[in-house]
Structure 1
Amino acid sequence: MPKWEDYKRTAKERGALALELYVVNTKPVGPDADIPGTLPDHLAYQAKMEAAGSLAFAGPVSDESGEEMFGEGMIVYRAESLDAARELADGDPMHARGVRSYTIRRWLINEGSFTLSVGLSTGKIDFK
């Protein structure tokens, strides 16, 4: 199995984007976790990370059927290293207060696309 940095270098050499981000999968520590009480501070933290350029994406994920919410979420950070991304995750009030636990992994973005449309006269923004 190749080492992460070796694979990243090879991806760049073949012309892939090789953009490294950090994916945090987060879940409640139990049914009595005070998620509603921690949510305002969590959202304020997310807004601060977004303004700082550290938060790429965040939001809940469904259960495997795609039909139900079950309390898990995903956060994608921009950071200089895995340790720096871990510090961002640790700073989230949900994690700092022990309301949620998380795992974190490096994510190397090589392929894909998105469309961003900005209506200048309407102020409408569409992201797909």
Structure 2
Amino acid sequence: MVAWSDYKAEAKARGALALELYVAHSTPAKAPEDVKAALPDHLAYQAQLEQAGQLALAGPMSDETGAHMQGVGLIIYRAPSLEAAQALAEADPMHKCGARSFTLRRWMINEGSLHLSVGLSTKAVNLS
């Protein structure tokens, strides 16, 4: 098994991006009505983190078939350490009240691309 810091150094030496983010896999821990009751505060918290630059991406996920929503969410944090990301996840009102639980992992982004199109006159933004 390779230590995370060694793996990251090796990736950078290969020319990979080695951008470290933190991924929370959030699952319902209480009844759907408890999750729904915590949703407004959760969304406000997510917006606050987004404005602070600490939230990269977040949203619900489907079941394995892709046909149904099952209440699972994925939250990707920008943080200086795993401990800092843990604190962000624990402070989420959804997790704080116990309506949802989460697992947190480091994620090293090495490859891929994002495409951003900004229409200056139309003020349209497209991310793909």
Residue 26 of structure 1 corresponds to 26
Is 1:59 the equivalent of 2:59? yes
Gaps of 5+ in 2: none
Offset from partner CA, 1:1-40 (integer Å, 9 cap, x none): 2111100000001100000000000011033551111110
The TM-score, its normalising length taken from structure 1, stands at 0.98
* Alignment match, 2:104: 104
SS at match of 1:26: strand
Provide the residue aligned with 2:115 in structure 1: 115
List runs of 5+ in structure 1 lacking aligned partners: none
Structure 2 letter corresponding to 1:3 = A
* Aligned counterparts of 2:60 and 2:66: Cα–Cα separation in 1: 12
Q: Quick one: distance in 2 between partners of 1:37 and 1:93?
A: 10
Structure 1 stretches of 4+ with a deviation exceeding 2 A read: 30-33
| Corresponding letter in the other structure for 1:23 | V
Counting only pairs closer than 5 Å after superposition, residues 47-86 of structure 1 correspond to structure 2 as: 47-86=47-86
Distance 1:101 1:33, change over 3 A: farther
What fraction of aligned residue pairs are identical, expressed as a percent? 59
Q: Secondary structure at the match of 2:103?
A: strand
User: Are the counterparts in 2 of residues 33 and 100 from structure 1 also a CA contact under 8 Å?
Assistant: no
Q: How many residues align?
A: 128
| Partner SS, residue 37 of structure 1 | helix
The aligned residue for residue 6 of structure 1 is: 6
What SS does the corresponding residue of 2:30 show, helix, strand or coil? Answer: coil
Q: What is the CA deviation profile of residues 43-91 of structure 1, one whole-angstrom value per residue up to 9, with x for unaligned ones?
A: 0000000000000000000000000000000000000000000000001
TM-score, normalised to structure 2, is 0.98
* Secondary structure, aligned partner of 2:105: strand
Amino acid corresponding to residue 67 of structure 1 in structure 2: A
